[in-house]
Structures are given as C-alpha cells and as structure tokens.
Amino acid sequence: MSTRPRTPAPGTPAPGKLPLPELAQMKRDGRRIVMVTAYDYPSGQVASEAGVELVLVGDSAAMTVLGHQSTVPVTVDEMLLLTRAAARGSTRPLVVADLPFMSYQVSDQDAMVASGRFVKEGGADAIKMEGAGPTLDRILAVTRAGMPVMGHLGLTPQTATALGGFKAQGRTAAAALQLLQDALAIEAAGAFALVLECVPAAVAQAVTERLAIPTIGIGAGAGCDGQVLVYHDLLGYGDARAPRFVKRYADLHGAALRWVQRYAAEVRSGVFPALEHTYAMPAEELAAFEDALQPANPLFD
Ligand code: KIV
C-alpha cells in the first residue's frame, strides 16, 4: 500500500488548516478573529504566514484587481481564477469565496451550483453571500449541501445602488432592529459567521452580543468578534481612495511607483542590465560563434 500523502478530497480540510469550529470557540473565549482579503498566490501566502484565521477572496476584486467601479461586473469564472490562486497560497487560513452578483440571487439551485464550483474548482473552504430576505433560503440550501456559509449585512456592495450608494446602514432605530432580526435569521439559516459592513459600532456590538456565531466587522467598530480589511486598502496598493474606516499601514502603490520609475531610468541610461544580470558562454564556443559570423562563412551565401 502506498504511503504517499494524498490530496484531500474536496470538502475535507487539508492538513494544517484551521478547523472551522475553532472560530466559534474563539468567540466564546473572547479571542479576536482576523480576516483579510487575498486575490492571488502571493497575497494568500502573506495572509497565511501572518497567521490570520480567514482569507476572503472578496468580490472587491472587481474594483481592486480588475479596475471596475463596483463589485457588480465580476463573473464566476473571474472569481474562480482568483480563488484558485489565493487558495494555493493560503495553507492555514480558511478560504472564503464571495459569490458574485446574480450567481445566487435567482434560485437555490444557482446558489448550490456556484458554491460547488468555488469549493470543487476554486479550493474554497466556505462561501459568502450578501443580504437576508431571499438569501436566507440560499444559505440554508448551501449549508445543507455541506458547504459552510458566511453572511454579510449592513452595506452590501452588490446592492449599493438600491441602498443609496456606498454609505453606512442601520443608522435609525428601525433599521438597526431590522439588521438585528436579519442577523438572527442568518444565524438560524446555518451561517457560521457574519460580516457587518459600515454599521454604527453600537449596533454591531448589540448584534454581536446576541449571536452565537462570530461577527466580522468592517467599518463596524471594535465590538465585533473579528475584523476584516481589503488587502489593497490596508497596504495602500492601488491609487483608489480608501473609505474612512480603513487604516492604511503602508503605501505600496507609492513604493512600487518609485521602484518602477527607477528601473525605467536605469534601462534608459544603460545601468541595467549589468554584467551580473547576463549569461556568459565558454570562450571557445564564443570564438566559434564569432567565426561563423564572418562574411566569408558559406552560411551567408
Ligand atoms: O468583497 C469584499 O472584499 C468584502 C469585504 C469588504 C467584507 O465583502
């Protein structure tokens, strides 16, 4: 019998992966959960080496990676490509893939088929869907099919136009109560965690205290069980203006710009490539080659 390690079957946690129940345990213990987005192999590796619990292959990729003005245009196939790459780098964190707009809104069947593709072809460990209402049935269907689902309430970027733009949600008592009801319904539908985006800190805290599943906040204050930021926003990678809830830890766009400008200047001035960047050949082979280049060579007749 072969003792070679085998690739785990889809749906089976890979060795070294964070076990999903650990997230609920972290909430019970009061240990904060860290999630960051990743969209390719190196960002997945960075997230994994940094020891975060969750990697989100967010449909924010539509804006940060693909240059769209919103998350709406990104397709399942585009997201699958990014998910596969990020998952290869994310050896420890659980990888959550965002279902793109209109890949799950029409029917439970659509939601299950799209989720299945992200798990089987994309290497995702879990799926994220936005909203409550009809999304509750989708969460139920996909979790029943054995795929863990993360919910997303507050500012739901796929429906930002209907919400009046990219702005904070749940700012009236009625809207906050609705958000709490939706959060409870998402938990009851079987979600393992819930993203709260751009909601008042007091509302996010009240929701967090009433749910058994962890909440992951973005622009929702420190009362959530965890936090998520978009990789490009926190590293300043890309020239887009970040929302006010983002803390920028670096200016990778500025640094990349300066290094590419220096490279261009060195190419133009002849500083690059230098001798150490080139390949030599044995002296006798070079001599033979130069000989062969002489005009008297019959090769050039
Ligand atoms: O797509 C995304 O990156 C997200 C996060 C902002 C939560 O949904």
Q: What is the pLDDT of residues 193-217, one digit of tens each?
A: 999 999 999 999 999 999 999 999 9
Q: How far are the Cα atoms of 38, 76, 150, 189, 232 from residue 103, in angstroms, in the given order? A: 21, 7, 16, 19, 25
Whether 51 and 71 share a structural domain = yes
Question: Ligand 1: distance of its center to the CA of 201 in Å?
Answer: 18
Whether 243 and 292 share a structural domain = no
Pairing of strands 33-37, 193-197: unpaired
| Neighbouring C-beta atoms of residue 41, cutoff 10 Å | 16
* Domain assignment of residue 33, yes or no: yes
Range of 123's domain? 21-251
Closest-lying ligand 1 atom to the alpha carbon of residue 195: 7
In this structure, the residue with its CA closest to atom 8 of ligand 1 is 58
Q: From its phi and psi, is residue 165 left (phi > 0), alpha (psi between -120 and 50) or beta? A: left
In this structure, the residue with its CA closest to atom 4 of ligand 1 is 58
Whether 190 and 57 share a structural domain = yes
Whether 282 and 211 share a structural domain = no
* Domain assignment of residue 15, yes or no: no
Whether 185 and 142 share a structural domain = yes
Locate 290 and state its tokens. Answer: 């130069």
Who lines ligand 1 at CB under 6 A? 37, 56, 58-60, 98, 195, 197, 218, 228, 230
Q: Is 197 a catalytic residue?
A: yes
Question: Ligand 1: distance of its center to the CA of 71 in Å?
Answer: 9
Burial class from Cβ neighbours inside 10 Å (0-12, 13-18, 19+) for residue 24 reads middle
In this structure, the residue with its CA closest to atom 2 of ligand 1 is 58
Whether 294 and 193 share a structural domain = no
With beta carbons less than 8 A apart as the criterion, state whether 56 and 35 touch.
Answer: yes
Q: Residue 299 has what pLDDT?
A: 66
Output the tens digit of pLDDT for each of the chain's 301 residues: 444 445 555 556 677 899 999 999 999 999 999 999 999 999 999 999 999 999 999 999 999 999 999 999 999 999 999 999 999 999 999 999 999 999 999 999 999 999 999 999 999 999 999 999 999 999 999 999 999 999 999 999 999 988 988 999 999 999 999 999 999 999 999 999 999 999 999 999 999 999 999 999 999 999 999 999 999 999 999 977 888 999 999 999 999 999 999 999 999 999 999 999 999 999 999 999 999 999 877 666 6
* Domain assignment of residue 47, yes or no: yes
Whether 152 and 186 share a structural domain = yes
In this structure, the residue with its CA closest to atom 3 of ligand 1 is 58
Whether 262 and 214 share a structural domain = no
Closest-lying ligand 1 atom to the alpha carbon of residue 71: 1
Q: How many domains does the chain have?
A: 2
SS (H, E, C) 15-31: CCCCCCHHHHHHHHHCC
Q: What is the enclosing helix (H) or strand (E) of 117?
A: helix 108-120
Distance CA 10, CA 5 (A): 15
Whether 278 and 165 share a structural domain = no
Question: Ligand 1: distance of its center to the CA of 43 in Å?
Answer: 15
* Domain assignment of residue 132, yes or no: yes
Q: Map tokens 């793109």 to a residue.
A: 100
Whether 105 and 229 share a structural domain = yes
Mutate to test the pocket of ligand 1, among 83, 197, 216, 237 (most ligand atoms within 8 A of CB): 197
Catalytic residue among 78, 121, 197, 209: 197
* Domain assignment of residue 247, yes or no: yes
Q: How many helices (H) and strands (E) does the chain have?
A: 11, 8
Question: Ligand 1: distance of its center to the CA of 36 in Å?
Answer: 9
With beta carbons less than 8 A apart as the criterion, state whether 267 and 259 touch.
Answer: no
* Domain assignment of residue 7, yes or no: no
Question: Ligand 1: distance of its center to the CA of 128 in Å?
Answer: 9
* Domain assignment of residue 152, yes or no: yes
CATH number at residue 197: 3.20.20.60
Closest-lying ligand 1 atom to the alpha carbon of residue 230: 3
Mutate to test the pocket of ligand 1, among 43, 128, 158, 237 (most ligand atoms within 8 A of CB): 128
Beta-bridged to residue 9, according to DSSP, are none
Q: Report the largest interatomic distance among the alpha carbons of the chain, rounded to a whole angstrom.
A: 92
Q: What is the enclosing helix (H) or strand (E) of 153?
A: strand 149-154
* Domain assignment of residue 97, yes or no: yes
Closest-lying ligand 1 atom to the alpha carbon of residue 157: 8
Whether 77 and 110 share a structural domain = yes
Burial class from Cβ neighbours inside 10 Å (0-12, 13-18, 19+) for residue 273 reads exposed
Question: Ligand 1: distance of its center to the CA of 273 in Å?
Answer: 41
User: For 168-199, b where at least 16 C-beta lie within 10 A, e where not — what string?
Assistant: bbbeeeeebeebbebbebbbebbbbbbbbbbb
Whether 138 and 70 share a structural domain = yes
| Neighbouring C-beta atoms of residue 73, cutoff 10 Å | 14
Question: Ligand 1: distance of its center to the CA of 230 in Å?
Answer: 7
Closest-lying ligand 1 atom to the alpha carbon of residue 59: 1
> Does a cis peptide bond (omega within 30 degrees of 0) precede residue 273?
yes
Strand boundaries in 18-78, DSSP class E: 33-37, 54-57
